[in-house]
Amino acid sequence: MNALTRFTASATVGLSLLATPLAAFDIDSMNSAERDAFGQAVRSYLLENPEVIMEAVAVLEQRQAAAEAARDDALVETYLAELQNDGYSWVGGNPEGDITVVEFMDYRCGYCRRAVPEIAKLLEKDGNIRLVVKEFPILGEASMTASRFAIATKNIAGDAAYKAVHDALLAFSGEPTDVALRRLAKGLDLDGDAILAGMNAPEVTEAITRTRALAQQLSISGTPSFVVDTELLRGYLPADAMLDMVKEIRDARG
């Protein structure tokens, strides 16, 4: 007999002592003395069997997790087109892949940097993954500067240049000053002056604004966050766990 069953049995006994039929039990119909007696019976039971409280908490947490997962699924379905095909975010991996992984990232985020080798391993081990990078600068002015520089690079020099700058910025530990960004661009044979001049272009601002609005709709407030196909991950999984997740998604498709 588990704790919840024991509680039910105890409550039944308590109710019988109060001469109140279980099927007709209504605490609001009790008089003051009956409510006091019932309350004392419940209190005594919980003091003698405190484990039932932990069981109840576990059930509540499971229900809350299930409700949150269902809400996330509905949100992802609503915004799937904007997530996977917004027309401005960089697309890597296999552009024709059957599973799309969307990453919301910030260049100043330590966990985003830790995720770099995991993402690389994921793409290396599964050649059918399509990766979409969402520039989501939320950690201050340096984050915003780095994202603007990366997006401007894509707009001016193309996808390959963006990937090189993206990787360099994730490895960069200094402040993204104009001097530092020019030096970074020069090391990649890019026109740093042109990229710096394009950082405040309307299309750069629009890309960041749209990504922030999308994150808000999805209740994403931290980085990195991922959407694997239609599954929202707040944080990241090691590559092997993500590979297992991708396999499950494919298996579910039949």
Q: What is the pLDDT of residue 13?
A: 41
Euclidean distance between the first and the last CA atom of the chain, given in angstroms as a whole number: 41
The helix or strand, by DSSP H or E, that contains position 134, with its residue range, turns out to be strand 129-135
Q: Does residue 245 share a domain with residue 162?
A: yes
Q: Tokens 């985020």 sit at which residue?
A: 109
Q: Range of 11's domain?
A: 3-49
Each residue's pLDDT expressed in tens, for the chain with a length of 254 residues: 444 444 444 444 444 444 444 445 677 788 888 888 888 888 888 788 888 778 878 777 777 676 676 787 888 999 999 999 999 999 999 999 999 999 999 999 999 999 999 999 999 999 999 999 999 999 999 999 999 999 999 999 999 999 999 999 999 999 999 999 999 999 999 999 999 999 999 999 999 999 999 999 999 999 999 999 999 998 888 999 999 999 999 999 88
Q: Does residue 151 share a domain with residue 230?
A: yes
Strand order in the sheet with 99-105: 90-93, 129-135, 99-105, 225-228, 231-234
Q: What is the pLDDT of residue 159?
A: 97
Q: What is the pLDDT of residue 24?
A: 54
DSSP 93: E
Asked if residue 202 is part of any domain, the answer here is yes
Q: Does residue 145 share a domain with residue 24?
A: no
Asked if residue 101 is part of any domain, the answer here is yes
Q: Does residue 27 share a domain with residue 84?
A: no
Asked if residue 216 is part of any domain, the answer here is yes
Closest alpha carbon to 199 in 139, 154, 133, 136:
154
Asked if residue 203 is part of any domain, the answer here is yes
Q: What is the pLDDT of residue 7?
A: 42
Asked if residue 59 is part of any domain, the answer here is no
Q: What is the pLDDT of residue 28?
A: 77
Q: Which two tokens stand for residue 238?
A: 């090691």
Asked if residue 69 is part of any domain, the answer here is no
Asked if residue 72 is part of any domain, the answer here is no
Number of domains within the chain: 2
Q: Does residue 86 share a domain with residue 43?
A: no
Q: What is the pLDDT of residue 224?
A: 96
Alpha helices in the chain (DSSP H): 3-17, 32-48, 51-78, 80-84, 110-125, 141-157, 159-171, 178-187, 192-197, 202-217, 239-253
Q: Does residue 89 share a domain with residue 44?
A: no
Q: Does residue 11 share a domain with residue 107?
A: no
Asked if residue 27 is part of any domain, the answer here is yes
